[in-house]
Amino acid sequence: MSGCGLPVTYESRGTGGRSSISGITSTVFGATGYLGRYVVNHLGKSGSRMILPTRCGDNAKQHLKVMGDLGQIVDLAGLKIRDDSAIKYAVERSNVVVNLLGREWETRNFSFDDVHRDFPERLARICKELGVERLVHVSALGATLDHPSKYYRTKAEGDEAVRAAFPNATVVKPAKLIGTEDRLLNVFAEHTCKFPVQTLIDDGGSKHQPVYVDDVALAIRAIVHDESTAGRTFELCGEKILTMEDMLKMTQSIIRAQNASRIVYVPSFILKMLAAPHEFLLNRVPFPLPTPTGLTRSYIDAQGEDYLKDPKSEGFKELGIVPAKLEGVVIDYLRAFRFGGYDVGATAGQGSE
């Protein structure tokens, strides 16, 4: 039981649906996050037992309880990512562990090093010691050790630490996630509605392959159920390549913004100066502060790079999944920001599409 590709379906029975028993008992770290809720839902659909370590209040996790059959989902409150004994308690009953933990900015309590590097290394080591069969570690597309953004550097350091401690771990590197609760297109739409101009860092030319969040969750479910994915790395990306400017203009077109042409390109060094006081406070005050998306040095540094799938890497194709296109229902949630109403036509009074 040492992560060497042993079957995890030895107790499976039923037709494979939510009320079946898949034989999988999975500890999912980061279940209350954006991607986490989709992963829990798809694992629950296959009849998997899940242990969900959390450190948040009931309101942030109550929706997870109904994603599995009765008794299949166990809430484990009081997660401490620096406590080996707490981590052991969370994973010792599981044959599969999924790590989705991550954060977009640093605070006084948790740095990128804590969450992206130290915790994955600690988790992988403990999983190896306890004989956990499968470890799925979710990283980020574009993570490299020499990346200018600390977010991506620490993600890469975490990947290497996981591989060193648990060689048969499966590493998943998704591109920017698109979906109902995303913090990308929703932010573009909200800022377009609230502010007279929209800002882009430098020329807004960094290239991305945004991917639908539910497709990534489906891929993780496929990885969990497929023993042959052990020890492999999957880059999960959408088919279309878009720049940040493309995504902003696409969002403004969908919501039919009246000020869609008012885009201001702000040099990154100016935004870094604006971000410095806020980041100084984030790392010192003992209480939460509102953090505008994009107003951190690590995020600003990240905009100078392209985030494209390596043609030689494995991805959705090897998992038998066709990623959704970013048109139609996938980004239909943006219509809630539409000027004049959800179903308004190209011009006010024209009617629904």
Answer yes or no: are the C-beta atoms of 20 and 46 closer than 8 Å: yes
Q: Which tens digits make up the pLDDT trace of 47-81?
A: 899 999 998 888 888 899 889 888 889 999 888 99
Residue 165 lies in a domain: yes
Calpha distance 11→22 (Å, rounded): 7
Calpha distance 173→289 (Å, rounded): 29
Identify the DSSP state of 13: B
Q: Which of 333, 270, 329, 281 is nearest to 105 (CA)?
A: 281
Q: Which tens digits make up the pLDDT trace of 251-260?
A: 998 988 876 6
Residue of 136 and 340 predicted with greater confidence? 136
Residue 98 lies in a domain: yes
Calpha distance 40→123 (Å, rounded): 19
Residue 215 lies in a domain: yes
Residue 338 lies in a domain: no
Residue of 351 and 97 predicted with greater confidence? 97
* Residue-level pLDDT at 259: 60
* Residue-level pLDDT at 12: 67
Q: Beta strand pairing status for 242-243 and 207-208? A: antiparallel
Task: For tokens 């600690």, name the residue.
Answer: 122
Burial code (b: 16+ CB inside 10 Å, e: under 16) for 33-53 equals bbbbbbbbbbbbbbbbbbbbb
Q: Which tens digits make up the pLDDT trace of 103-148?
A: 988 888 899 999 999 999 999 999 999 999 999 999 999 999 999 9
* Residue-level pLDDT at 121: 98
Domain with 218 in it:
25-177+211-239+307-324
Q: Beta strand pairing status for 233-236 and 25-29? A: unpaired
Domain count, the chain: 1
Q: Which of 220, 221, 233, 95 is nearest to 169 (CA)?
A: 233
Asked whether the predicted pLDDT for residue 313 surpasses 70, the reply is yes
CATH classification at residue 121: 3.40.50.720
